[in-house]
Amino acid sequence: MNSPTSSGCPFHQDAPSPTAAIPLNPPGVWPPGPPTGLTGWSLLNKMSRDLLGTLTAWQREFGDVVHLRFWPEHEIVVTDPQLARELLLTHHDALIRWERGIRIFSQLHGHSVLTAEGDAWRNKRHTLQSSFSPKAVQAFLPTMAATTQQALAQWPTDDPHWPIESALTSLTMEVILQMTFSGGIGADARIAENAVRVVSAAANAEFYWPASLPDWVPWKRAKRQALADLKGLIERYLQTRLKVPRHARPDDLLTRLLALHESDASAWPLQAVRDECMTAFLAGHETTAATLVWWAWCMASNPEAQAVARAEVAQILQGQVPTPDTLPSLNYLTQTIKETQRLYPTAAVLFSRRSTKPITLGAWQLPARTMFLVPVQLMHHDPRWFPEPSAFRPDRFGPEAPEIPRGAYSPFGIGPRVCLGQHLAMTEMTVIAAMVLQRFNLSVPEGMTAPRPVMNVMLRPDQPVHLTVTSAASVPA
């Protein structure tokens, strides 16, 4: 077949070496996998009911490279960290993302950096990179802290059943709106929160069908309304900003995007500005909110770890808000967030890829148009890489911990498509987590069972999470 692809991409500098020494299976021989029946669509049905559980069962039965055949596709599930890195690094130039999935996402995200391919993606990514660099993120830290301080002041100091998922979602919406538009969401918060849930559920359901009915059919009314609500939210911010003279505009993401439009309207039409704003809003709050909800659950259900993190926050911050100087010293708190991302990665399954030409992956010679699926969650829960994988152990990411195999931990993805906003997300989550622990103790309400993770585009709790919150001042030192 082919040799590994080459690229000038910096991610390839430490890519795995070619696996030429591995004995190759002949072309046309596929890895083992479950029986397909007549069409294989029964496999899709199983995946739609419980994607992670189904993939876990297949990995146990067939190994780290599993072949799924559902007409007209061949899909390879890769759960070996080295092969996952080889696929997404070495063969990056031979892959595109699943076309149908992109069409579904494009209904909301348009042609943003999230959905673009090829040169269009490279140009957008290069242009936007500076706005999400560590230095640029540091400049937003005072906004994060001030927005968080204002939101937490509205939380109760003693509530046995506080809707923490909704509260954290509203808070992360407020933070990303301040950074993107220099404005808050106010009364639109509940509408936007519901709209995000509706469109996520609709997209997740459509992934498992070979085609979608048009959105005008009567039973898609909720989806139509949700799309209209989210697009209307972005449009209001855009139209308001266009009325502001250039010299009076705040230094936020919208102003930077409008500067691109005004310097080259053919490359950056207003629709492109809308698309990037939508992606920034959704990706900027949804994944962060989901991780913080899981983090809050981990803190509540692991009080000893919560106490250690709170003591560190008290010692480092001395009652002040986090700053660029103090934030890097919150080492144990960062470990709790990383361990939360290991247990509950919001991108539990990376977006499916399709090969545009034949590639060799490990011992397998695979033809063009093969689909590939990389379930991050399965690698994060593999006892070969993480002993006692179901246990919450922040020390896995401590300075004395054994080295984790490359590719086994990838909450933000792998390769050139790694999350553009990863520095922003980690900074925001650390700021919010630190300030929550300064003020509140989190515990599990009496009789509550652990929330069950379910895939709804992202990994979410099956039911809205409520926790008991009390004042941190009442916690013994």
Residue by residue, DSSP assigns 349-413 as SPPPEEESS-EEETTEEE-TT-EEE--HHHHHT-TTTSSSTTS--GGGGSTTSPPPPTTS--TT-
In a domain, 5, yes or no: no
CA separation for the pair 240, 22 (Å, rounded): 60
Mark the binding-site residues for heme, compressed into ranges: 419
Q: Which helix (H) or strand (E) holds 326?
A: none
Per the structure, the complete domain to which residue 92 belongs is given by: 10-474
CA separation for the pair 47, 33 (Å, rounded): 14
Does the CA dihedral 65-67-68-74 come out positive or negative? positive
Mark the binding-site residues, compressed into ranges: 419
pLDDT at 455: 85
- CB under 8 Å to 421, separation ≥6 — which residues? 132, 280, 283, 284
pLDDT at 244: 93
In a domain, 4, yes or no: no
- CB under 8 Å to 131, separation ≥6 — which residues? 253, 256
DSSP lists the bridge partners of residue 162 as: 467
pLDDT at 77: 97
CA separation for the pair 151, 147 (Å, rounded): 6
In a domain, 92, yes or no: yes
Cβ atoms within 10 Å, residue 261: 17
Residue by residue, DSSP assigns 51-70 as HHHHHHHHHHHH-SEEEEEE
pLDDT at 473: 82
pLDDT at 12: 41
In a domain, 413, yes or no: yes
In a domain, 27, yes or no: yes
Cβ atoms within 10 Å, residue 381: 18
Cβ atoms within 10 Å, residue 161: 12
Characterise 120 by phi-psi region: left (phi > 0), alpha (psi -120 to 50), beta (else).
alpha
In a domain, 2, yes or no: no
In a domain, 326, yes or no: yes
CA separation for the pair 201, 91 (Å, rounded): 31
pLDDT at 195: 82
pLDDT at 477: 60
CA separation for the pair 359, 378 (Å, rounded): 24
In a domain, 52, yes or no: yes
- Going from the C-alpha of 204 to that of each of 107, 199, 417, 456, the distances in angstroms are 13, 8, 21, 6
Domain count across the chain: 1
Mean pLDDT (10-residue bins), the chain, 477 residues: 39 45 89 90 88 95 96 94 96 92 86 91 92 90 94 95 94 90 74 80 73 73 88 91 93 92 94 93 88 98 98 97 96 98 95 95 97 97 97 97 95 92 95 98 95 88 95 75
Q: Which CATH number is 429's domain given?
A: 1.10.630.10
